[in-house]
Amino acid sequence: MKHDLKTGSYPLVSALQDGLNKTLFGASASAVEGLRADYGDGYLADFERSLDLLKKAFPENAFPSWAVRGFQRLGSTILREEVAFKQTGQYSAGVEELQSLKDDFYSNPDVMEGYYLVGLYCTYFLWPHHYQLLRFYRDAFLAPPHDPQGLVMEWGPGHGLLSVEALGRWTNSPSLLIDLSPQSLDFSKAVLGASGAGARVETRLEDVLAAPDLPKASRIICGELLEHVPDPKALVGRIRDSLEPGGLAFLTGAINAPQPDHIFLFRSEEELLRLVEDGGLSVHAHLTVRHPSRAGDDNPPEVTAMVVGHGI
């Protein structure tokens, strides 16, 4: 495989792989080979397109060093959180600390621009379970017959990759992104602009739980958000109230997965599914994944993804 990459077919993937091999996260570079074995060259072409989009969106950032440093710093941060979690059984931040996270994390350029957003973007192709989630998102939420008839909203877009995927499929749909982080909106707008979908995108800088006038939407994307809010039940209620009749939403929830800005601890897939169903939504499809290296762990970190709506 390394020979094939070196021939130039996937130069950006190869460069990123080489950069990671020089860090403590060489195992993530090796994961590329495992993912290729599982999904074929289509995975490499997929990863190459996404890295090319990242380069076009941020031409001022040297590649691959920017992405390598971001992924490495994110990984180191998560490892520290996991060590603490094993000792305490709790996340380091609680629901009462959301305001300090808004001030010190989500509005901090050193965090958001320095490593967090680019690091998370790369996880979708370097963490096998995140690539599984991306494929589930495409197949269960984006694929026909699920084409929307109206507005597509994403709440907490972060790096913007999920909206890139959605607007690439749904080429006539307008989009609204809502996030409380200015850096997140800037990052997402840059990536969507590089994808060619920027003209269809509007943004609002606000906390979606506090927003007074959310519009109705045909599709709502809410990835990697439930564990970041102090009241996930309220978030599910806002999704229910904001979906048009026949609308669908995609949402994910992290389980036993410590990160510095995870404040609500879910303990099981069942807890997440019950939260959604008790909130008045039906689960049309769901998938729970974990990193292969954690297969034998007690209470391993997992992510559950769901496609939900008002009824089946």
Dist. CA 212–CA 210, nearest whole Å: 6
285: left (phi over 0), alpha (psi -120 to 50) or beta: beta
CB atoms within 10 A of CB 235: 23
What's residue 2's pLDDT?
A: 44
Q: Give the whole-number percent of the chain exceeding pLDDT 70.
A: 97
Residue stretches of the chain with pLDDT short of 50: 1-3, 6-7
Span 100-147, pLDDT tens digits: 999 999 999 999 999 999 999 999 999 999 999 999 999 999 999 889
Geometric angle at alpha carbon 239, from 233 and 245, rounded to 5°: 135
Dist. CA 180–CA 200, nearest whole Å: 20
Beta strands in 39-180 (DSSP E): 152-155, 175-179
pTM of the predicted model, to two decimals? 0.95
Q: Is residue 23 packed enough to be buried (19+ CB in 10 Å), middle (13-18) or exposed (0-12)?
A: middle
What's residue 237's pLDDT?
A: 97
Domains and CATH numbers, the chain: 2-125 (no CATH), 126-309 (3.40.50.150)
